[in-house]
Amino acid sequence: MFAEYIQAALRNAKYEPLEDGTYMATVAGLQGVIAVGDTIEECRDDLIGAIEGWVALGLRLGDPIPAIDGIDLNISVKPAPIVE
């Protein structure tokens, strides 16, 4: 599911050329996730790492992770009923 979340985030990424010829990428809803690179490909690679780190830190801190395209990484802390 984590890989699907990354792919959904990449599909929603916005890339912008910067004045110095490099590129910047952000993903709506993932506040603070910013990537840069000399090329779009480098920027995309940096974005993957930024998303992975952002999600890992958020999960570790117990912060809610926004769902993207219906993919929700949040886990419930409530016990699930066992049906026999």
Report, in angstroms and rounded to the nearest whole number, the Rg of the chain calculated over CA atoms.
15
DSSP conformational letter for 76:
-
Give me the pLDDT at residue 80, please. Answer: 59
Residue 81 pLDDT > 90: no
State how far the Cα of 44 lies from the Cα of 24, in Å rounded to an integer. 9
How confident is the model over 17-69, as pLDDT tens digits? Answer: 999 999 999 999 999 999 999 999 999 999 999 999 999 999 899 899 999 99
